[in-house]
Structures are given as structure tokens and as C-alpha cells.
Amino acid sequence: MEEPQEGEGKKKSGLMALVIPLVVLTAVGGGGGWVIGNMLAPQVKQAEDAAKAAEAAAAGEHGGEAKKDEEGLPPISTEANGVVALEPITTNLAYPSENWIRLEVALMFNGPPDVQIAEAVHQDIMAYLRTVSLQQVEGPRGFQYLKDDLQERVDLRSEGRVSKVMFRTLVIE
């Protein structure tokens, strides 16, 4: 009858051998997370304070416009940063024609934004997307090829005035 007691003792000691290191590792991980959090918290607080100061400065310059910006996301396209957000492009693909693509892009100009160039680029991108098949844009490699093709088309159409094409959304249905 002594043998079952020894078996129970082995089970308890095996369980304790697992629980004790688990508790110690959990405490060490929690303590390390707390220390790193305290090291990073002042940097986050400083960034928040700087953002609030910039908002206050913008509110002082623009008055009522700052209230409108607070309601939603700030616009990506501004005269100051030379970025123009194009209207969303929705068209069907070349093959299969029952698939649709919706693309939102923004153009970063080298100098002041030119609305006529932006409109011409918008129409050129739409015409190009109508010639693309689903197989050409599948996967990460297809997306990279699409980005490269659109950048090349924009460079040609804008004659170098647009430095970058920024994808905001891409949906294929």
C-alpha cells in the first residue's frame, strides 16, 4: 500500500516542478514589461504634448477650421505638403470582367500641386486598370507590379512633377 503514496508524491513534485518555474517566468516577464513601459511612457507623453501644442497652434492660425478637423481624420491632401488625394477609382477588370477593382491613391508633387496633372493622372490610372486582369494583381508580387506600373505611368504623364504614388486603399471584388 505504500507504492500508491509514492506515485502520488511523484505527481505532486512533478506538478510543482512545472508550476514554480512558470510562476517565476511570469513574474519576470511582467516585471520586464512594467520596466519597459515606464521607460517608454515619458516619450509617449512628450509626443502627445507636442501634438496638442501643434493643434493649438493650428487652431490659432485657422480659427474655425480646426474644429472641423477635430470631428474627423485630418485631410491627407494639403497645399503645404504637396499631396493631392485623387477621387476613388472604381472599374471592372479586363478578365474576368465580372470582377471590380476600387483604388484610392494620393499623389505627392515635387512642387506645388497641379490639379490638371492630377486629373490627367486619375484618368490614365482608370484607363490602365481596365486593361489589368485579376491574375496580374494577385498576391504580393502582383501588387508590387501594379504599384510599379502605376508609378511609371504617373511619371510619364506628369513629366516628373509627381514624386510618389501613395496607395490608400485597394479592393478587388
Based on the domain organization, do 45 and 123 belong to the same domain? no
Phi, psi of 79 (to 5 degrees): -65, -35
Last residue of a domain, one of 74, 97, 122: 74
Amino acid (1-letter code) at residue 57: A
Residues 129 and 160 in one domain: yes
Last residue of a domain, one of 50, 74, 98: 74
Amino acid identity at 51: A
pLDDT at 132: 94
Q: Rg of the chain over CA atoms, in angstroms? A: 29
User: What nine digits make up the cell of 135?
Assistant: 491574375
Query: Which helix (H) or strand (E) is 26 found in, with range?
Result: helix 2-62
Q: What is the 3-state secondary structure (H, E, C) of 65-103?
A: HHHHHHHCCCCCCCCCCCEEECCCEEEECCECCCCEEEE
Q: Along the 173 residues of the chain, how does pLDDT read in single tens digits?
A: 445 555 555 667 788 888 899 999 999 999 888 888 888 777 766 767 777 777 766 665 554 444 444 455 455 556 667 888 899 999 999 998 899 999 999 999 988 888 899 999 999 999 999 999 999 999 999 999 999 999 999 999 998 899 999 999 999 98
pLDDT confidence of residue 71: 54
- 0.75 exceeded by the pTM? no
92 and 158 housed in the same domain: yes
Q: Are residues 144 and 166 in the same domain?
A: yes
- In contact, 173 and 99? CB cutoff 8 Å: yes
Residue 89: domain span: 83-172
70 and 23 in a common domain:
yes
Q: Cell numbers at residue 71, please?
A: 470631428
Pair type for strands 83-85 and 89-92: unpaired
Ramachandran sector of residue 139 (left: φ over 0; alpha: ψ -120 to 50; beta: rest): left
Give yes or no: residues 90 and 168 share one domain. yes
d(CA 90, CA 173): 11
3-state secondary structure 92-152: ECCECCCCEEEEEEEEEECCCCCHHHHHHHHHHHHHHHCCCEHHHHCHHHHHHHHHHHHHH
